[in-house]
């Protein structure tokens, strides 16, 4: 899951409220803010052979601009531009791809709701996955689609009606884009609904992934990818937040398994930071891609060898209103303990 500065700050440090963006211009209905962070981390993670690989590097340093202006009473235009992973050649977060890209969008908001166009986190990310786990480095695994799901989207999000809100959108991939699996432009659909009452909320999201292909040697590229569904319920009481989710990926391809994800997470603010934990059971297919046999064909995999349990534990400590440290550990339940590891880091917000 890709995390923007604001999502990371809210989830990773309760002190972030003291590290507000700097307003550099605010006149005649136009406002411009500058914000960012510096993130440095040490990680030690086991590879597919069970060997430990460690490094010190960047963990998603971000620099961003946010602007808005009042077009007329009840209608506001806005934009956001973030340069993410500024030192991405040094380190990538555990689930980011090389093509994850920056955040850049424009929009209109008012009494009618919100319309946004550009590159930003998916609805599945925001409403389904983040309530369970939105951590500093390690996250629970999910459907991997080359990191391109953030781009080329338009989303309409409704106002809140008696606690109920919905969102619908489409992602368009033109024939010139490498992720497109068709010979012409293709638009996919996503949508969801969320209901909030007091400290309880529940959300459901559907996302069509037919714009994407798998780029891996030995697999039949150029076919539609599939669909995914998710439901998340969360409850917040005082400083404790608890969430559960069910997420399903249904493949349209013979060489990729359908996969179910059952997750639960909790986060508690103890005053000087957060402590948090997440657990997920992955049913069939693991990351979704089956192994290839000697004839370069996908294996028939009807057993439960790829089912696994994932556990992530973490804690943050606020050094000041603008600076915090963190430590995390992850267990993936894979062969040779692949993906198991720990990390420790520091973040400065401005």
Q: How many domains does the chain have?
A: 1
Q: CB–CB of 213/222 below 8 Å?
A: yes
Whether 304 has a pLDDT exceeding 60, the answer reads no
Do the domain assignments include residue 1? no
CA distance 331 to 333: 6
Whether 210 has a pLDDT exceeding 70, the answer reads yes
CA distance 282 to 140: 10
Helix (H, G, I), strand (E, B) or coil at 156: strand
CA distance 209 to 171: 9
Do the domain assignments include residue 33? no
CB neighbourhood size of 14 (10 A): 21
**Please, what is the average pLDDT of the chain?**
82
Q: CB–CB of 275/315 below 8 Å?
A: yes
Band (pLDDT 50/70/90 cuts) for residue 221 is: low
How is residue 90 written in tokens?
A: 């040094």
Do the domain assignments include residue 202? yes
Band (pLDDT 50/70/90 cuts) for residue 147 is: low
% of the chain at pLDDT higher than 90: 58
Whether 297 has a pLDDT exceeding 50, the answer reads no
Residue 231: domain span: 73-81+93-331
Which H/E stretch holds residue 5? helix 5-12
CA distance 232 to 251: 21
% of the chain at pLDDT higher than 70: 75
Band (pLDDT 50/70/90 cuts) for residue 178 is: low
CATH number for the domain including 300?
2.40.160.10
CA distance 224 to 255: 12
| Distant-in-sequence, close-in-space partners of 295: CB < 8 Å, separation ≥ 6 | none
Please tell me which residue, 28 or 109, carries the higher pLDDT value: 109
Do the domain assignments include residue 336? no
Do the domain assignments include residue 40? no
- In the 8-state DSSP scheme, what is residue 8? H
**Which residues are registered as beta bridge partners of 80?**
66, 105
Measured on CA atoms in the order 13, 14, 15, 20, is the torsion positive or negative? positive
CA distance 280 to 309: 6
Do the domain assignments include residue 23? no
Q: CB–CB of 330/341 below 8 Å?
A: yes
Q: CB–CB of 226/255 below 8 Å?
A: no
User: From its phi and psi, is residue 149 left (phi > 0), alpha (psi between -120 and 50) or beta?
Assistant: alpha
What confidence tens digit (pLDDT) does each residue in 83-106 have?
876 653 444 433 444 444 578 999
Band (pLDDT 50/70/90 cuts) for residue 17 is: very low
Of 85, 37, 35, which is closest to residue 60 (Cα–Cα)? 85
Q: Which of 47-56, 186-195, 198-207, 300-309 has the lowest mean pLDDT?
A: 300-309
Do the domain assignments include residue 237? yes
Helix (H, G, I), strand (E, B) or coil at 108: strand
Band (pLDDT 50/70/90 cuts) for residue 151 is: confident
Res 94: pLDDT: 39
How is residue 152 written in tokens?
A: 């080329």
Q: Find the distance separating the first CA and the last CA of the chain, reported in whole Å.
A: 23
Do the domain assignments include residue 68? no
């Amino acid at each position: 899951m890709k995390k923007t500065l604001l999502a990371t700050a809210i989830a990773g440090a309760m002190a972030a409220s003291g590290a507000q963006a700097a307003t550099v211009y605010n006149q005649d209905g136009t406002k411009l803010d500058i914000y960012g962070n510096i993130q440095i981390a040490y990680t030690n993670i086991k590879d597919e052979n069970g060997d430990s690989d460690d490094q010190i590097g960047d963990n998603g340093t971000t620099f961003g601009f946010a602007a808005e202006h009042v077009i007329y009473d009840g209608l506001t235009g806005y934009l956001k531009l973030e340069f993410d992973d500024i030192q991405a050649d040094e380190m990538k977060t555990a689930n980011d791809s090389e093509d994850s890209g920056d955040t850049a969008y424009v929009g209109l908001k008012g009494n009618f709701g919100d319309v946004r166009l550009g590159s930003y986190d998916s609805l599945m990310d925001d409403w389904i996955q983040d309530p369970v786990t939105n951590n500093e480095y390690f996250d629970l695994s999910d459907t991997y689609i080359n990191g391109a799901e953030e781009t080329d989207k338009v989303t309409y999000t409704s106002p809140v009606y008696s606690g109920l809100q919905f969102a619908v959108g489409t992602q368009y991939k033109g024939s010139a884009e490498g992720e497109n699996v068709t010979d012409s432009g293709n638009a996919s659909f996503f949508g969801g609904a969320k209901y909030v009452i007091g400290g309880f909320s529940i959300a459901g999201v559907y996302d069509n992934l037919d714009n994407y292909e798998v780029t891996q040697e030995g697999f039949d590229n150029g076919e539609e990818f599939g669909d995914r569904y998710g439901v998340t319920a969360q409850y917040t009481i005082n400083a404790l937040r608890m969430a559960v989710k069910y997420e399903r990926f249904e493949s349209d391809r013979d060489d990729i398994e359908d996969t179910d994800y059952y997750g639960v997470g909790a986060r508690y603010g103890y005053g000087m930071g957060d402590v948090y934990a997440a657990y997920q059971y992955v049913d069939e297919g693991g990351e979704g891609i089956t192994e290839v046999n000697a004839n370069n064909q996908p294996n028939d995999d009807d057993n439960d060898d790829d089912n696994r349990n994932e556990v992530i534990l973490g804690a943050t400590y606020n050094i000041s209103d603008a600076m915090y440290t963190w430590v995390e550990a992850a267990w993936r339940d894979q062969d040779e303990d692949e993906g198991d590891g720990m990390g420790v880091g520091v973040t400065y917000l401005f």
